[in-house]
């Protein structure tokens, strides 16, 4: 009897996740069951089933790699991270376990389905992230775990550095009360009453010492005061959220900074080598979710979802929020997909916003949202949002289009997608009961919008709240009846003028190829340019991408048009290699400024097809002034 492992993967590829015995056992059981049904059609149906058994695995886009309902992993999405911790190409799963039921929180590192290392934590973990600290070889990422007021940094799974948040100044009234208690001028009962009044009225919270004192019984207060009255009052904040921000390059293996959100309504950006505070920003409320884009040394945007139900947008040079997005309910997740901020709320809905606060779309969920995370498939250039719901579903959305639905045996509380072991597209889920689910995306899987949802949207069945007819409504209706023809003609005239202007502008953009993206479906291209340097020599990098799904592009040329009196380019005209779909091709050339007066101009970059005079797309690069010549 020959047994084949399904799903388009070989035995060695299943072994790359250390899941080969589970998969072989699953395939053997399925094969034996099929043979029993063929040779023994009246065989009983009371044999035990595998758990979980997919309802329709042949049509599913996922392979069930592993399921352990007794894994005893309790965490959320912010405390999950995938990284090559040893630089051997084997990606591990880092878990900040909350330790429910009175257990101590722990840091767990999983290799495949097994726990490789486990170490205790002094406080509950808030977030976990992996980042590169330096450019030296070997390029192994460091692990940062935020817990309480500290960030613990590990390299090669060994403690490397501990960063503690700076202490806050204590409340002067609280400090004065403890000074009086130190001099025995007030009794413990009076101290308790005064501290309670300060806690109710003061904006600054009390110190840990005062909060512990307020929790004691009357018989224990005097001993506590005698023990701690000589200690200085210290007020320490804690970390609520953490993420990473590229330092000066946008490459995947570039050095990154840590961005921390604290309980005292501040955002801190840490230096990746010295772990000093590079920037400090203030918020109106406590941040709970963070999303960043850009580079710290160049330009970046930071979105912070806070406990007051608002999302604040900050820029590089702003110490305070630049934009504010007001939500109608508390946020439960914040994910950035390209240039869209996707927010999940406690009203069981997903919202899409721009970075300036404009709402783009809203999708209603069938159940409460428990967790959210990003699904990024690099091979197909796909970015989508994964949402874990209370009804045991995991839904995947691209904008407001539903791509896929995964049914799980228990409600999912954390999600993580990425490279695990040696598999590029692995989905890791933990359930409310502490279970661990690992699924692998099939290499032939293609997500199609609306493929998992049939019928009209649920919003179509909702009844509209039609207001009552007012006197103003009746007068407006009579006016529309009397002057309906004239109003319709005026509306049509304005509409035709708007369409004409839009068509002229679109035609002008097509004729001059001013758009950085190709307008034809036959040449799906995307272009953007980056200028680096202070001058007089600049580095011009053109990023060209083929946005088609399956067809490569060949036979393209790049031409640069510039003022020869101001600039000199050694490569102003060159050929473009074969463009594979989904990959970003950087094309580099150097620009030398010839003017000694600091004058700058525009360089036009045209992408051409061999044998055609009209460009496919173009980009206008605003060159900076040469600071090297100006200083000279």
pLDDT tens-digit readout, 435-494: 999 999 988 888 876 554 445 666 677 777 878 888 888 888 888 888 888 999 999 999
Q: How confident is the model at residue 510 (pLDDT cuts 50, 70, 90)?
A: low
Residue 106 vs residues 65, 120, 163: alpha-carbon distances, Å: 25, 4, 19
Asked if the model's pLDDT at residue 37 lies above 80, the reply is no
Half-sphere exposure of 509 (CA within 13 A, CB side): 13
Window from 320-324, 581-585, 595-599 with minimum mean pLDDT: 595-599
Q: How confident is the model at residue 16 (pLDDT cuts 50, 70, 90)?
A: very low
Window from 208-212, 450-454, 619-623 with minimum mean pLDDT: 450-454
Q: How confident is the model at residue 372 (pLDDT cuts 50, 70, 90)?
A: very high
* pLDDT tens per residue, range 141-167: 889 999 888 999 998 888 888 898 888
245-257: string of b/e by CB count within 10 Å (b at 16+)? bbbeeeeeeebbb
Residue 610 CB burial class (10 angstroms; 0-12, 13-18, ≥19): exposed
pLDDT value, residue 515: 61
Mean pLDDT calculated for residue range 579-585? 84
Asked if the model's pLDDT at residue 129 lies above 80, the reply is yes
CB 65 within 8 A of CB 27: no
Q: How confident is the model at residue 511 (pLDDT cuts 50, 70, 90)?
A: low
* 3-class secondary structure per residue, 140-173: CCEEEEEECCEEEEEECCEEEEEEECCCECCCHH
Domains of the chain, first to last: 172-229 (no CATH), 517-622 (2.60.40.10)
Helices 172-182 & 188-201, crossing angle to 10 degrees? 180
Which residues have CB under 8 Å from 467's CB, separation 6+?
Answer: none
Strand order in the sheet with 602-609: 573-576, 556-561, 602-609, 617-622
Of 552, 556, 554, nearest to 575 (Cα)?
556
Of 536, 537, 535, 516, nearest to 526 (Cα)?
516
pLDDT value, residue 570: 86
30-34, 59-63, 179-183, 312-316: which has the highest mean pLDDT? 312-316
627-629-632 Cα angle (round to 5):
110
CB 399 within 8 A of CB 385: no
50 vs 72, which has greater pLDDT?
A: 72
Number of separate helices (H) and strands (E) present in the chain: 9, 36
C-alpha to C-alpha distance for 243 and 131, rounded to whole angstroms: 10
Tokens 């009225």 sit on residue = 201
Which residues have CB under 8 Å from 351's CB, separation 6+?
Answer: 327, 342, 343, 344, 345, 359, 361, 362
pLDDT value, residue 49: 30
Of 397, 255, 380, nearest to 335 (Cα)?
397
CB 479 within 8 A of CB 472: no
Residues in the chain: 632
Tokens 């492992």 sit on residue = 5
Q: How confident is the model at residue 569 (pLDDT cuts 50, 70, 90)?
A: confident
C-alpha to C-alpha distance for 156 and 84, rounded to whole angstroms: 10
C-alpha to C-alpha distance for 140 and 158, rounded to whole angstroms: 13
Window from 172-181, 288-297, 491-500 with minimum mean pLDDT: 172-181
Window from 54-58, 119-123, 479-483, 619-623 with minimum mean pLDDT: 54-58
Of 283, 317, 273, 276, nearest to 303 (Cα)?
283
pLDDT value, residue 22: 47
Q: How confident is the model at residue 496 (pLDDT cuts 50, 70, 90)?
A: very high
Model pTM greater than 0.85? no
CB 128 within 8 A of CB 152: no
Strand partners for 295: 246, 299
Asked if the model's pLDDT at residue 8 lies above 60, the reply is no
For 466, the token pair is 């039609």
CB 332 within 8 A of CB 341: no
Mean pLDDT calculated for residue range 170-177? 81
pLDDT value, residue 431: 92
Window from 28-37, 73-82, 211-220, 525-534 with minimum mean pLDDT: 28-37
C-alpha to C-alpha distance for 160 and 609, rounded to whole angstroms: 53
Residue 430: is the preceding peptide bond cis (ω within 30°)?
no
C-alpha to C-alpha distance for 281 and 287, rounded to whole angstroms: 11
* pLDDT tens per residue, range 243-300: 999 988 888 888 899 999 998 888 999 988 888 888 889 899 999 999 998 888 888 8
* 3-class secondary structure per residue, 213-276: HHCCCHHHHHHHHHHHCCCCCCECCCEEEEEEEECCCCCCCCEEEEEEEECCCEEEEECCCCCC
CB 73 within 8 A of CB 66: no
Of 289, 263, 291, 267, nearest to 279 (Cα)?
267
Asked if the model's pLDDT at residue 41 lies above 60, the reply is no
Mean pLDDT calculated for residue range 203-216? 80
- Cβ-defined contacts of 393-400 (< 8 Å, 24+): 393/366, 393/367, 394/429, 395/365, 396/447, 397/342, 397/350, 397/363, 398/337, 398/447, 398/449, 399/337, 399/340, 399/352, 399/360, 399/361, 400/350, 400/352, 400/361, 400/362, 400/363
C-alpha to C-alpha distance for 266 and 241, rounded to whole angstroms: 11
pLDDT value, residue 498: 94
Alpha helix locations (H) across 435-483?
A: 471-482
Asked if the model's pLDDT at residue 230 lies above 80, the reply is no
Three-state DSSP class for 628? helix
* pLDDT tens per residue, range 108-119: 999 888 888 888
- Cβ-defined contacts of 103-112 (< 8 Å, 24+): 105/147, 107/145, 108/73, 109/85, 109/157, 111/18, 111/421, 112/17, 112/18, 112/19, 112/66, 112/421
64 vs 449, which has greater pLDDT?
A: 64
Mean pLDDT score of the chain, rounded to an integer? 81
């Amino acid at each position: 009897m020959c047994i084949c492992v399904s799903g388009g993967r070989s035995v060695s590829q299943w072994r790359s996740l250390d899941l080969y015995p589970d998969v072989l056992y699953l395939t053997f059981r399925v094969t034996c069951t099929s043979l029993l049904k063929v040779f023994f059609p009246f065989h009983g149906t009371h044999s035990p089933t595998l758990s979980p058994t997919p309802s329709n695995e042949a049509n599913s886009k996922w392979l069930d790699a592993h399921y352990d309902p007794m894994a005893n992993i309790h965490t959320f999405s912010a405390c999950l991270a995938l990284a090559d911790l040893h630089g051997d190409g084997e990606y591990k799963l880092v878990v900040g376990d909350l330790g429910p039921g009175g257990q101590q929180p722990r840091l767990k590192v999983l290799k495949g389905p097994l726990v490789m290392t486990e170490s205790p934590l002094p406080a509950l973990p808030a977030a976990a992230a992996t980042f590169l600290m330096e450019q030296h070889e070997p390029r192994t990422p460091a692990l940062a775990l935020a817990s309480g007021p500290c960030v613990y940094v590990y390299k090669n799974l060994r403690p490397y550095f501990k960063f503690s948040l700076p202490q806050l100044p204590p409340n002067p009234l609280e400090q004065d009360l403890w000074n009086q208690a130190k001099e025995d001028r007030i009794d413990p009962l009076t101290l308790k009453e005064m501290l309670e009044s300060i806690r109710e009225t003061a904006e600054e919270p009390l110190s840990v010492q005062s909060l512990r004192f307020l929790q004691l019984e009357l018989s224990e207060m005097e001993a506590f005061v005698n023990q701690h009255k000589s200690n200085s009052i210290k007020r320490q904040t804690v970390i609520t959220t953490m993420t990473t921000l590229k330092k000066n390059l946008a490459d995947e293996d570039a050095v990154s900074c840590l961005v921390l959100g604290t309980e005292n309504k501040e955002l801190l950006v840490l230096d990746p080598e010295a772990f000093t505070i590079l920037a400090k920003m203030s918020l109106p409320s406590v941040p709970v979710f963070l999303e960043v884009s850009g580079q710290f040394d160049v330009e970046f945007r930071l979105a912070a979802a806070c406990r007051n139900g608002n999302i604040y947008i900050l820029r590089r040079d702003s110490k305070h929020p630049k934009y504010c997005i007001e939500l109608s309910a508390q946020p439960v997740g914040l994910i950035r997909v390209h240039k869209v901020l996707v927010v999940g709320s406690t009203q069981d809905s997903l919202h899409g916003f721009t970075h300036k606060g404009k709402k783009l779309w809203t999708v209603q969920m069938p159940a409460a949202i428990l967790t959210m995370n990003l699904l990024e498939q690099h091979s197909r250039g796909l970015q989508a949002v994964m949402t874990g719901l209370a009804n045991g579903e995991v839904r995947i959305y691209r904008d407001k289009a539903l791509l896929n639905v995964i049914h799980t045996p228990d409600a999912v509380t954390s999600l993580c997608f990425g490279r695990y072991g040696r598999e590029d597209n692995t989905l890791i889920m933990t359930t409310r009961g502490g279970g661990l689910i690992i699924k692998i995306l099939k290499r032939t899987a293609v997500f199609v919008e609306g493929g998992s949802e049939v019928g009209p949207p649920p919003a179509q069945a909702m009844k509209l709240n039609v207001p009552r007819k007012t006197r103003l409504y009746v007068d407006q209706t009579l006016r529309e009846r009397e002057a309906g023809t004239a109003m319709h003609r005026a509306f049509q005239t304005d509409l035709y003028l708007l369409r004409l202007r839009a068509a002229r502008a679109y035609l002008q953009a097509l004729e001059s190829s001013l758009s950085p993206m190709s307008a034809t479906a036959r040449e799906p291209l995307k272009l953007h340019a980056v200028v680096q340097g202070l001058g007089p020599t600049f580095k011009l990098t053109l990023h060209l991408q083929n946005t088609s799904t399956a067809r490569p592009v060949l036979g393209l040329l790049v031409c640069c048009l510039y003022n020869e009196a101001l600039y000199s380019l050694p490569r102003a005209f060159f050929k473009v290699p074969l463009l594979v779909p989904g990959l970003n091709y950087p094309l580099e050339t150097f620009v030398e400024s010839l003017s000694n007066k600091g004058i700058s101009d525009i360089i036009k970059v045209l992408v051409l097809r061999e044998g055609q005079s009209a460009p496919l797309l173009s980009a206008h690069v605003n060159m900076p002034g040469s600071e090297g010549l100006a200083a000279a």
